[in-house]
Amino acid sequence: MAQIAISVQDKPLFIWDGGEDEILRILEKFPETAKGIGVEPQVLAQSFVFWLRKGRLSKKPSTQQMQMMGIIWLILTTDTHDADHPGPIGVYAPNTDFVANFEIDNNKHFTIHIDATSKFHS
């Protein structure tokens, strides 16, 4: 099992713990849910990121759970941009801890800085 610590503008938001089963469930269920409401998964996940400009998740538990799932899905599907560890973060997430910091500007743009905090393992 590994952890992904999520921050917004360098302020901790939440820590997600999960293993291979949880990762596979998110990678499968989030796109199904998004498409079920008529939205592409990438669009829905990105909309959840923009909600984070306030530095918090929704207070409504069901919405909060969906936001967290979308944010984790976005991280898991992001490419590592590491020649020694090619592919999406999700390949390495079952056995590697990560930190992800979202930087969101006022022009509806954001960047995600993702770093492994333990040795990369696949």
With contact defined as beta carbons under 8 Å apart, do 13 and 84 qualify?
Answer: no
Q: What pLDDT does 122 receive?
A: 55
Alpha-carbon distance values, 84 to 87, 104, 120 (Å):
10, 29, 10
The two three-digit tokens of residue 61, written as one number? 């538990």
Poorest-pLDDT segment among 44-58, 67-81, 82-96: 44-58
Q: What pLDDT does 74 receive?
A: 97
Q: What pLDDT does 121 receive?
A: 63
Q: What pLDDT does 72 receive?
A: 98
Q: What pLDDT does 51 receive?
A: 85
**% of the chain beyond a pLDDT of 90:** 78
